[in-house]
Amino acid sequence: MSEAPAIRSKWGQWQTVEEQISRDIASGTLVPGARLPTEIEIMHRFSVGRHTVRRAIAELASAGKVRVEQGRGTFVEEQSVIRYNIARRTRFSKNLKEQGRVPSGQPVEELEIPAPPIVAAALRIPESDPVYMIVRRGFADDVPITISRAYHPVSRFPNMHIRRHQGVSVTEIYRDFGIPDYLRHRTTIFTRLPITEEARLLAQSQEQPVLVVQKVDVDMQGCPIGYSETVWAGERIQFAIDYDEEPGNVDAAAGAQKE
């Protein structure tokens, strides 16, 4: 086993250990189901202390990359990356079910707020007009993969919050307001580092990048009905842009944003 470069400062030692083991997993040096070297072996490899190794392993476990089995050791998790298809009729549950995953969601927060500038522009409403903000966490096989913030104009969907509190889905509410179908008009994708709360909700390290997807949904007449920003656990997902339905109608722009 090759030696890692010497770690020169105490700050960041566990990040260096975590990053190298992550690379070993990604490259196939450590295959799914393989047992990691012992604490002593990792300490010798990186010239670090036991606390540093345990912190690195804890972060890897939090990110879903390894599992710690008491009395047996630490093993590489056997989890495959989710391939998520983005198309004009993208639906979260359908996407995951088609891959044999079990989708689920958890409400985090729902409230009425004045529309922030980016939301107002996307929904084509005046700034500070009231919108319903729905924050949810999405899971695949009980593993957190998304945090989404969706916004809907109160003027278009009055009393939406009452229906939501009754457990009615957004799609069903759309139907009640005469919108039997809707399309994804625009998608923007970029990467950044998560804030502390996002990392906690996604059960990952704050040093691991997330993928941020901003999208606008429209009714069949092209009028915006919803805007959302979804933060995805970057190392658990990969996106595929599907142009089969109507080529050229999905505008995917990639960029980078520093935290």
Instruction: Tell me: do 163 and 206 sit in the same domain.
Output: yes
> CA–CA separation, 235 vs 26, rounded Å?
10
Instruction: Tell me: do 91 and 66 sit in the same domain.
Output: no
**Element (H or E) spanning 210, and its range?**
strand 210-219
Task: Choose from 60-74, 89-103, 183-197 the range with maximum mean pLDDT.
Answer: 183-197
Quick one: pLDDT band at residue 79, thresholds 50, 70, 90? low
Q: Mean pLDDT across the chain, nearest whole number?
A: 84
Q: Which residues of 170-184 are buried (b: 16+ CB within 10 A; e: fewer)?
A: beebbeeeebeebbb
pLDDT digits (tens, 9 = 90+) for 171-186: 899 999 999 999 989 8
The answer as to whether 8 is a domain residue is no
User: Residue 229 burial by CB count (10 A; 0-12/13-18/19+): exposed, middle or buried?
Assistant: middle
Query: Range of 39's domain?
Result: 13-76
Instruction: Tell me: do 157 and 225 sit in the same domain.
Output: yes
Mark which of 76, 98, 122 sits at the end of a domain. Answer: 76
State the CATH number of the domain containing residue 64.
1.10.10.10
3-state DSSP call for residue 98? coil
pLDDT at 77: 81
Min mean pLDDT across 89-93, 185-189, 228-232, 252-256 is at 252-256
| Residue 86 or 75, more confident | 75
pLDDT digits (tens, 9 = 90+) for 85-140: 888 777 788 888 887 788 999 999 999 999 999 999 999 999 999 999 999 999 98
Q: What is the mean pLDDT of residues 50-55?
A: 94
Instruction: Tell me: do 95 and 213 sit in the same domain.
Output: yes
State the CATH number of the domain containing residue 203.
3.40.1410.10
Question: How many domains in the chain?
Answer: 2
Among residues 214, 233, 242, the alpha carbon closest in space to that of 89 is found at 242
| Residue 133 or 66, more confident | 133
Instruction: Tell me: do 35 and 69 sit in the same domain.
Output: yes
pLDDT at 112: 94
| Residue 5 or 145, more confident | 145
Instruction: Tell me: do 29 and 133 sit in the same domain.
Output: no
pLDDT at 80: 66
Instruction: Tell me: do 123 and 56 sit in the same domain.
Output: no
Instruction: Tell me: do 72 and 104 sit in the same domain.
Output: no
Instruction: Tell me: do 18 and 109 sit in the same domain.
Output: no
